[in-house]
């Protein structure tokens, strides 16, 4: 007897070419490179060019993930794009990615859990694969958060950047008595009581405008480490693992201090933590797959490694996913 596993076959990332440094922000709001680096760890962020949309970023990342997997869009029967910043109110970014990939079969839809979006989408795709509803999924996290920034609000405009990351997830039959590859466990949480601590002050059915990000940073910070560590510990327990078993920790890249705090609290050695926040800032749903892509491509993550993904964002939403890496 075999069981169905969801295995990552390939990963890809895309960052817009324009880089904005902290020094540039100094000329826009009352801030300093020193404050931003000390409080967040961020030194620069990528910003999408005029006319470059979330679906463009998502498609570029998806193409790289497919190439890494040695596959084409023909092999895919499910696309889930995690995003908060769609090209249009509808159709979904996933439908646009499907069209840009020249794929006219299967199904495609968006999932919105803000910065936790990729972890939520990965768990959703995992369920589709394990239930037999799909066989090969493209799971993308893509956001152009700079489009919803108030560039006069120093509390938020220094924190975000644009980007996209993607994985190809495929169902595979595994022997139950061997170390299982792929997604071993996922934990997703949300609590709508906190929505006003991090939200966008506009929308289709409220103001009829796009709106801007508003955040009570200190309040978000206060909850972040505890929420993150809870889902990490639950995901580890579900798989019968402990923090000591982890080879790599890929946290959401919002703030270096939150990353360090969560790593310390869970008990993960600093050298096992993948950090991109210094160069990418907070790319929302793209942050985890972009960090995963970097650590796979530079050779840190190898086949057989145990990898913990984690994210937390608006809603609040938060989640973790434990993976045994299998792609080379």
Active site residues: 115, 252, 282
Nearest-approach distance from CB 217 to ligand UT7, in angstroms:
3
Nearest-approach distance from CB 282 to ligand UT7, in angstroms:
5
Residue 291 binds to ligand UT7 (criterion: CB under 6 A): no
Which parts of 44-103 interact with ligand UT7 (CB under 6 A)?
none
197 within 8 A of 96, measured Cβ to Cβ: no
* Residue number with CB closer to ligand UT7 (318 or 325): 318
DSSP 167-205: EEEEEEEE-TTSPPPEEEEEEEEE-GGGGGGEEES--TT
Helical segments of the chain, H only: 22-26, 33-40, 54-69, 93-100, 117-131, 154-157, 217-238, 256-266, 277-280, 287-297
* Residue number with CB closer to ligand UT7 (171 or 285): 285
DSSP 100-139: HTT--SSEEEEE--GGGHHHHHHHHHHHHHHHTS-SEEEE
Compute and round to an integer the Cα radius of gyration of the chain: 19
What gap in Å lies between CA 80 and CA 93, rounded to an integer?
Answer: 9
Interface region with ligand UT7, contact rule CB under 6 A, candidates 58-66, 162-170, 215-223, 299-307: 215-223
Residue 261 binds to ligand UT7 (criterion: CB under 6 A): no
Residue 282 binds to ligand UT7 (criterion: CB under 6 A): yes
* Residue number with CB closer to ligand UT7 (96 or 149): 149
* Residue number with CB closer to ligand UT7 (39 or 135): 39
284 within 8 A of 3, measured Cβ to Cβ: no
What gap in Å lies between CA 129 and CA 83, rounded to an integer?
Answer: 21
Residue 213 binds to ligand UT7 (criterion: CB under 6 A): no
Which of residues 5, 7, 9, 40 is near ligand UT7 by CB under 6 A?
40
Residue 218 binds to ligand UT7 (criterion: CB under 6 A): yes
Nearest-approach distance from CB 319 to ligand UT7, in angstroms:
12
Residue 220 binds to ligand UT7 (criterion: CB under 6 A): yes
Tokens of 229: 């560590």
Which of residues 4, 127, 155, 326 is near ligand UT7 by CB under 6 A?
155
For the four alpha carbons of 295, 296, 300 and 305, in that order, the dihedral sign comes to positive
Tokens of 20: 């904005």
* Residue number with CB closer to ligand UT7 (136 or 156): 156
Which of residues 31, 190, 233, 326 is near ligand UT7 by CB under 6 A?
31
Where on the chain is the footprint of ligand UT7 (CB under 6 A)? 31, 35, 39-40, 115, 154-155, 158, 198, 217-218, 220-221, 224, 252, 254-255, 258, 282, 312-313
């Amino acid at each position: 007897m075999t069981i169905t596993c969801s295995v990552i076959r390939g990963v890809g990332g895309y960052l817009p070419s324009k880089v904005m440094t902290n020094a540039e922000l100094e000329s826009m709001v009352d801030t300093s490179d020193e404050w931003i680096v000390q409080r967040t760890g961020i030194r620069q962020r990528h910003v999408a060019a005029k006319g470059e949309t979330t679906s463009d970023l998502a498609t570029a990342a998806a193409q790289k993930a497919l190439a890494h997997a040695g596959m084409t869009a023909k092999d895919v029967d499910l696309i889930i794009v995690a995003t908060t910043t769609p090209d249009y109110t509808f159709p979904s970014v996933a439908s646009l990615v499907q069209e840009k990939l020249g794929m006219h079969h299967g199904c495609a839809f968006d999932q919105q859990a803000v910065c936790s979006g990729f972890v939520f989408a990965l768990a959703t795709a995992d369920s589709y694969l394990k239930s037999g509803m799909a066989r090969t999924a493209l799971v993308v996290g893509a956001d152009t958060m700079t489009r919803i920034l108030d560039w006069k609000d120093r509390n938020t405009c220094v924190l975000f950047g644009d980007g996209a990351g993607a994985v190809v997830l495929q169902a595979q039959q595994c022997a139950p008595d061997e170390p299982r590859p792929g997604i071993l466990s996922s934990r997703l949480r949300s609590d709508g009581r906190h929505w006003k601590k991090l939200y966008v002050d506009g929308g289709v059915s409220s103001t009829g405008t796009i709106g801007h990000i508003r955040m009570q940073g200190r309040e978000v910070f206060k909850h972040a480490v505890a929420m993150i560590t809870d889902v990490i510990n639950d995901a580890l327990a579900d798989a019968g693992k402990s923090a000591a078993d982890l080879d790599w920790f890929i946290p959401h890249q919002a703030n270096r201090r939150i990353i360090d705090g969560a790593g310390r609290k869970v008990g993960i050695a600093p050298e096992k933590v993948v950090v991109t926040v210094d160069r990418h800032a907070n790319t929302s749903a793209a942050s985890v797959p972009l960090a995963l892509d970097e650590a796979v491509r530079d050779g840190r993550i190898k086949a057989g490694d145990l990898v913990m993904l984690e994210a937390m964002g608006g809603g609040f939403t938060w989640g973790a996913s434990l993976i045994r890496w299998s792609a080379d």
